Amino acid sequence: MNIYSYTFRRLLYVIPVVLGVSLIIFVLFNLVAGDPTAILLGKHASASQMAELRHELGLDRPWLAQYFDVVRSAFTFDFGRSWSTKQEIFEMIKAGAIPSLTLSFPAFFLSTVLAIIVSLFVSFYRGGVVDRLVVFVCVALMSISSLAYILFGQWFLAYYLGLFEISGYESGFPYFIPYVLLPIIIWMVLSVGPDVRFYRTVVLDEIYQDYVRTARSKGLSERVILFKHVLKNAMIPIITYVLIKIPFLILGALLLESFFSIPGLGSITLNAINGSDFPVIKAMTILSSIAYILFSVFTDVMYCLVDPRVRLK
Amino acid sequence: MADKILDVKDLVVQFNTDRGVVTAVDGVSLEVFKGRTLGIVGESGSGKSVTALAIMRLIPHPPGIIKNGVVKFRGESLLDKEMVDMRKIRGNKISMIFQEPMTSLNPVFTIGNQIEEVLELHQSDLSKEQRHKKAVEMLSLVGIPSPEKRIKEYPHQLSGGMRQRVMIAISLACEPDILIADEPTTALDVTIQAQILELMKKLQKELGMGIIMITHDLGVVAETCDDVAVMYCGKIVEQGTADHIFNNPRHPYTKGLLESIPSFDATTGDAKDRLPTIEGMVPSLFELPEGCSFQDRCSKCISQCRQPQEVLALKEVATGHAVSCFNHY
C-alpha cells in the first residue's frame, strides 16, 4: 500500500469519528445544557415567550432533526447565526481567524524552532554548565504564572517603557505588527520552557543510542551526527508533540487575545461563553474537534514518511 | 616479525564517577600486526571495550579520560592528534564493529545510505554512482544475497546476522588497516556466529588488515586469533601467541578460564564430574585489593601477592609470552 491510498483510507475513517463527535456535541449542548431560552430571556419571561423563542431557534423540533443539524454543520461549516449578534457564524469565524493567526502562527513557529535549536545546543553540551543553566532557566520560566508575564509586559514594557502597544488591533499588513509583537514574545516566553525541556529529553534519549556510537566510529563530526542522525530519529516524538498542538491554535490564544483585545477566535469564543451564545460555542467546538481529528491523521501520515519502521498495513 | 601497525603502550583510562575515580584500563600495552588477529579476552568490566574505545578516542569525556599512555598507529601518535584529524582515521584507517548488531545501525536510514556515508566522508573523490557501486560490492563481499535489492532496505528489515554483516561492510568499505571487533558475535546465535567469524577471517586474508578481536569467549579466540592478551581488572595478566595461551597457560586466571570450558571429550568425560569454575567474584574496581587483583580468587596465592607493588609487571617467560604473576616467573 502506498502513502496516498493510506492517507485516503485514514481520511475515510474520519467520517464515523466526526459523526460520533457530533453526537457528543449534540448531547452536551441540546440535552445536558438545559433550556437556553431561560438564560436568553431572563427570569421574568412568560411561558409563551419562551415557547415562541424555542420555536424561533428550532429547539422544538425532534431530537433527530436537531442532531442532523449538528452533523450537517460539521460537514458544510454552515453553523447558522449567532444568538447575540445575529451574524453568520461562519463569517464571524473567518473574520476572527486572521487576527488569531497573525498572533498564533508566528508565535508557535518561532517558539518551536527556537526550542528545537536550543535543545540541540544544550544536548551537545550535556551535563555542562550551559546545560544546567538552560534547564534552570526553563524551570524558572515555567514556574511563573502567565498572568505575571502579561501584566509585566503591559505595564512595564508597553506602558512604562513604551516599547509596544498596550492592547488593541489594526487589520491589514503591516499595521497589525506592533499590536501582536508583545503577545508573541509572551507566548514564546511561556512555551519555551516546557518545549526545551521536552525536546532536550528527546534528543538526549537518542544521543546515547548505539547508532550514535557507530556514527562516531565512522568518523562523522558531532555536528553531522546531531543534525542528521540524531535529529531524524528525534523527529518522531517531535512531530507528535508539534502537530498535536496545532489544532489548539484554532481556538486562538484565549488569554492573550482577551488581555490584548485582539478580535480573534479566542475573543469570539470567550464572548460566546460569557453571553451563552450556544451556536457559536458549538461551532468552535465542532471546528476544533475536526481540526484535532484531521491533524491526528496528518501525524500518522508524517510518521510513515519519517520512520521506515512504520508499516503501511 | 610482520609489519607492526598499532603500538599501544602503558594506556591508562579513568572514569570520574560519583563514587570516585575508577581506573578502567591500567597500564595496558598491545601490538597489532598486519594480517594478524589479536584477541583481547576477559570478563565483563575487565577493560577490553574501554581499551578499544580509547584507541579510537571514543571514550565519552566527561566522565572518561585517557590519563596516560601512547597509541601509535603506523608511527603516528593518535592521542596527540586534533579531533579533526582523528576523525579522518576513524572508519577509514581504523574501524570498529560492535556487540549490538540490532541497534548499532541507524534505524531511519537505508543500509546503502549508511555504507555510502562512510565512503562520502573518506573517499570524497568517488562520484555518487561509484559510491553506490562500491556499496553494492561491499554488501556482496560480506555475503548478503541480492545486494542490489537489499541496499535499499532499512535495518529493521534485516536479521541480526545480516545487520552485523552490514556493519562489517561499513567498517571495511574504506579498506582499513585495523578492524576492531568488540564482541562481534556475542549477540548472535551459534551458527550465525561461526559464519561471521569465517567471514572476518576470509576478509582479513583478502584485505590484509590487522584485527583486534575483543571477546569473553575462548572458543572465538581459538578459532580466530593469532595473538592473545588476557585482561583482568583493567590489566593484562598474560600475553602471548594463541599457542602459548591455549597449550601453555601460565597465569592462574588463564588456567582457570581454560579449565572452565565444557569439553565433549568422550574418553575422559565423566557425567559426574562437575565443570570447574573460578571461585569468587571479580572485585569491584572501587575496592581493588593491594597487590595482585586476582589474589582473592587465586588458589596459588602467596603472601607476596598481597604486598603492595608499584607495578606487577608482565615478565617474559618465553619468547613472546609474558605473565604477570609471582608464581610463574
- Tell me, what's the pLDDT at A252? 64
pLDDT band at B1 (very low <50, low <70, confident <90, very high): low
- Tell me, what's the pLDDT at B169? 92
State yes or no: pLDDT of B180 exceeds 80.
yes
Q: Where are the domains of chain A?
A: 3-76, 96-276
- A209, A211, A229, A303: which to substitute to probe chain B, counting the most B Cβ within 10 Å? A211
Q: Residues A102-115: pLDDT tens digits?
A: 999 999 999 999 99
Percent of residues, chain A, with pLDDT higher than 90 = 47
Q: Which residues contact B104 (CB under 8 A, 6 or more apart)?
A: A210, A211, A213, A214, B97, B98, B163, B167
**Nearest residue in chain A measured CA to CA from B99:** A210
Interval B126-150 mean pLDDT:
92
Q: Which residues contact A117 (CB under 8 A, 6 or more apart)?
A: none
Q: How far apart are CA B172 and CA B246, in angstroms?
A: 30
User: Residue A191 — left, alpha, or beta (φ > 0 → left; ψ -120 to 50 → alpha)?
Assistant: alpha
pLDDT band at B179 (very low <50, low <70, confident <90, very high): very high
Rounded to 10 degrees, the C-alpha dihedral B82/B87/B92/B95 comes to 100
- Tell me, what's the pLDDT at A55? 87
- Tell me, what's the pLDDT at A189? 94
Residue with more model confidence, B321 or B274: B321
Residues of chain B within CATH 3.40.50.300 domain(s) are: 4-93+174-323
Helix H segments across B97-159?
111-122, 128-141, 147-150
Interval A220-242 mean pLDDT:
91
- Tell me, what's the pLDDT at B89? 92
Percent of residues, chain B, with pLDDT higher than 70 = 94
Q: How far apart are CA A40 and CA A279, in angstroms?
A: 13
- Check: CATH 1.10.3720.10 for A96-276? yes
Interval A122-133 mean pLDDT:
88
Percent of residues, chain A, with pLDDT higher than 70 = 98
Residue with more model confidence, B278 or A205: A205
Q: What angle do CA B129, B134, B138 make, to 5 degrees?
A: 150
**Nearest residue in chain B measured CA to CA from A125:** B62
CATH of region B4-93+174-323: 3.40.50.300
pLDDT band at A313 (very low <50, low <70, confident <90, very high): low
Is residue A264 within 8 Å of residue A103, measured between CB atoms?
Answer: yes
Spell out which residues of chain A touch residue B171, defining contact as CB-CB under 8 Å: 217
Q: Residues B47-78: pLDDT tens digits?
A: 899 999 999 999 887 788 898 899 999 988 99
Concatenate the DSSP letters of all residues of B261-321 into one string.
S----TTT--TTSPPP---S-PPPGGGPPSS-TTGGG-TT--GGGGS--S----EEEETTE
Interval A91-98 mean pLDDT:
91
- Closest partner CB to A210 (pick from B56, B100, B109): B100
State yes or no: pLDDT of A270 exceeds 60.
yes
- Tell me, what's the pLDDT at A46? 85
* Interface contact B98, partner A, CB < 8 A: yes
Which set of grid coordinates corresponds to residue B139?
Answer: 554488501
Helix (H) or strand (E) segment spanning residue B33: strand B20-33
ipTM higher than 0.90?
no
Average per-residue pLDDT for chain A: 89
- Tell me, what's the pLDDT at B227? 93
Q: Which of A232-236, B18-22, B290-294 has the lowest mean pLDDT?
A: B290-294
Spell out which residues of chain B touch residue A217, defining contact as CB-CB under 8 Å: 56, 58, 90-91, 95-96, 98, 171
A209/B103 touch (CB, cutoff 8 Å), yes or no: yes
Q: Residues B287-321: pLDDT tens digits?
A: 887 778 888 888 777 777 777 765 567 777 878 88
Residue with more model confidence, A34 or A57: A57
Q: Residues B199-250: pLDDT tens digits?
A: 889 889 988 899 999 998 888 899 899 999 999 888 898 999 999 889 988 8
CB pairs under 8 A between A and B: 71
Q: Residues A215-227: pLDDT tens digits?
A: 999 999 988 999 9
Helix, strand or coil, per DSSP, at residue B79: coil
In DSSP terms, A128 is beta-bridged to: none
- Tell me, what's the pLDDT at A225? 92
- Tell me, what's the pLDDT at B214? 93
- Tell me, what's the pLDDT at B287? 80
Which set of grid coordinates corresponds to residue A138?
Answer: 526553563
Q: How far apart are CA A57 and CA A52, in angstroms?
A: 9
